[in-house]
Amino acid sequence: MNDRIAHAGLAAKLMPAEQAATLIEPGMSVGMSGFTGAGYPKAVPLALAHRIAAAQDRGESFALRILTGASTAPELDGALARAGGIDFRLPYQSDPDLRARINGGQIEYMDIHLGHVAQYTWFGFLGKIDVAVIEVTAILPDGRLVPSTSVGNNKTWLDLAEKVIIEVNHRQPMGLDGMHDIYYGTALPPARKPIPLTSPGDRIGEPYLKVDLDKVVAVVETDAPDRIGRFTPPDETSRRIAGHLVEFFRHEIRAGRLGEHLLPLQSGVGNIANAVLAGLHEGGFRGLTAFTEVIQDGMLELIGNGTIDMASATSFSLSPEGVEEFVRNIDLYRRKIVLRPQEISNHAELVRRLGCIAMNGMVEADLYGNVNSTHVAGTSIINGIGGSGDFARNGFMSCFVTPSTAKNGAISAFVPMVSHVDHTEHDVAVLVSEQGLADLRGLSPKQRARQIIANCAHPDYRPMLQDYFDRALRDSKGRHTPHLLAEALSWHQRYLDTGTMRA
């Protein structure tokens, strides 16, 4: 035994990743740990990919159903996709090889709200889980597991899988011990009880994951970092978007709809999200809280400088520099951060009770406030809806942010009709681009259209949108949500045909 594997029975099940991979058979449904590139198994998926590739070289069929918390990394999603080892995947992904095969039709992909995955699995909607492959930081003497840098759906996979393979990653800092809060009080309808969490820092569970020791068939040791790329520093466009949103929050404080500490923040992943968080610090906000899914560099910095007092999430998504800062000051962050299962971090009951302010990116929005956050031209998935819908539908306020154009101005982020709908007009309160902010609360569809055209659209596309809207007002059979159906998606078709949406 060693200090990372302190349970004698589980220490006796130590084996190489290649041997553990032989316990996973073709056609199985495998629940893997991992959420936004953190806490995913590092060795078994690679060994499994080699095994699959060898089987297929022999002419044997070998593919799996892969379920995770969210996106993982090349050692998991990428390796298995390249080997042809995935026939079904959910819920969220970001690997380019996996995405290419999904959009090429070789892999079936189910995009699903992150807050629904655990309960759908418990309901039996997703079938049985044959094997769970879970990364942990350590195994305690009584067999409980110190979670890693993400929790995701690990509790559910451990509870429901018929067999469990545990990867113990020596690279994950032991200072993570005590940062997690694993709640075991959920139940199936009609036996559900209210979840007793009323502020982001509440601890309602226990610090460790539990596993039926008889189900553990292998323990594998690794020593490898999470693989997460660096974020581009905020550019002028991101800073302008952040400035509009921060000024809007100040307006809401003056109007009495928000207090000086705002409400718990939920922030998506990316450069704009980091810019918005930086803008809050620069704007003098202090004593904030977060109830979100992912803690990335921008939020870690705000925790370190005192802008955010407490943050609840289910995972980290840190650059290499962010990881160094986290490890260096882990005692501070352990007091300020709670990592939970995603069925709690994304739970509708809690998002609504806490009144979260949701800030998420998008691909495009239409004149009436419908948002597409997942697809290019309505047919090709990018990453997935993630948790944005969990927060947009249930939060105090849902804000969607984007640059007004893409591809050097060839694409407008504001179009007559979105090519795919992830968030309907009913769930969208605020749209923000570098051009300005449209507050859509309390407005009819036509009133929303005027706000979006005037405040968010790029000047190059504003006359085109206004022309479409004016003609729709005149010629549409219905005047509540006026559309010219023959033209509604013509901007997307023009881009596919000519490489630009410009007329």
Q: Annotated catalytic sites, by residue?
A: 293
Q: What is the residue whose two structure tokens read 């802008």?
A: 307
3-state per-residue secondary structure call for 259-309: CCCCCCEEECCCHHHHHHHHHHHHCCCCCEEEECCEEEHHHHHHHHCCCEE
Q: Is 134 helix (H, G, I), strand (E, B) or coil?
A: strand
Asked whether the beta carbons of 142 and 7 are under 8 A apart, the reply is yes
What's the CA gap between 85 and 202, in Å, rounded? 41
Tokens of 173: 């800092």
HSE-up of 461 (CA within 13 Å, CB side)?
A: 25
Kindly write down the DSSP assignment for every residue of 477-499, as one continuous string: S-SSS---TTTTTHHHHHHHHHS
Kindly write down the DSSP assignment for every residue of 364-428, as one continuous string: EEETTS-EE-SEETTTEE-S--TTHHHHHHHSSEEEEE--SEETTTTEESEESS-SS-SB-GGG-
Kindly write down the DSSP assignment for every residue of 78-119, as one continuous string: IHHHHTT-EEEEES----HHHHHHHHTTSSEE----HHHHHH
